[in-house]
Amino acid sequence: MSKTRHANDAKYKYQNYLPVYDETTTFPATQPFEFNDRGALADKAKPNLFGVKDAKITKLTPRIGTEITGIQLSQLTDDQKNELALLIAERGVVVFRGQDFKDIGVEKQKEFGKYFGPLHVHVSRLHWPLSLRFLN
């Protein structure tokens, strides 16, 4: 595996998120899996997600897109994640700014993603050094 880095990379707080170019790794074919829609488990009113004290919900357009501030995705309960899955299915795009995912580490990020279903390895030569499952 070759790594392409810049001189200033050593000073960068999130070095493990800088891409590496991998010419040797191969991946098995994606296998079929059973999908469990977490949104189907959600309360349609979304009281757990929308009821967070400091949350502010803004519809970006009448039909598509919602921005939510005052919520850290990494701290969501399972009920809130289910309601988030339903909201994304309803609105198509949901934007969260100021998230702490860089600070919680790759394993916690993968744990969050796995809640919604199996993680998929995208065939790409650029990925994070700590995980083939994250692209750059």
Domain definitions of the chain by residue range:
38-99
> What pLDDT shows up at residue 133?
56
Residue in 42, 35, 1 with CA at minimum distance from that of residue 128: 1
Residue 64: count of CB within 10 angstroms of its CB: 11
Beta strand extents in 1-130 (DSSP E only) = 20-21, 56-59, 66-69, 94-96, 126-128
Q: What is the pLDDT of residues 20-40, one digit of tens each?
A: 676 777 777 788 999 999 999
Q: What is the pLDDT of residue 79?
A: 98
132 SS3 class? strand
- Cα distances from 128 to residues 3, 5, 26, 117, in angstroms, run 11, 12, 15, 21
Which pLDDT belongs to residue 136? 42
pTM here?
A: 0.76
CA atoms lying within 13 Å on the CB side of residue 18: 14
Yes or no: say if 82 and 39 are a contact pair by the CB < 8 Å rule. Answer: yes
Segments of the chain with pLDDT less than 70:
1-10, 20, 22, 122-136
- Name the residue among 112, 105, 110, 102 with its Cα closest to residue 81: 112
**Alpha carbons 45 and 115: distance in angstroms, whole number:** 21
Query: What DSSP designation does 44 have?
Result: T
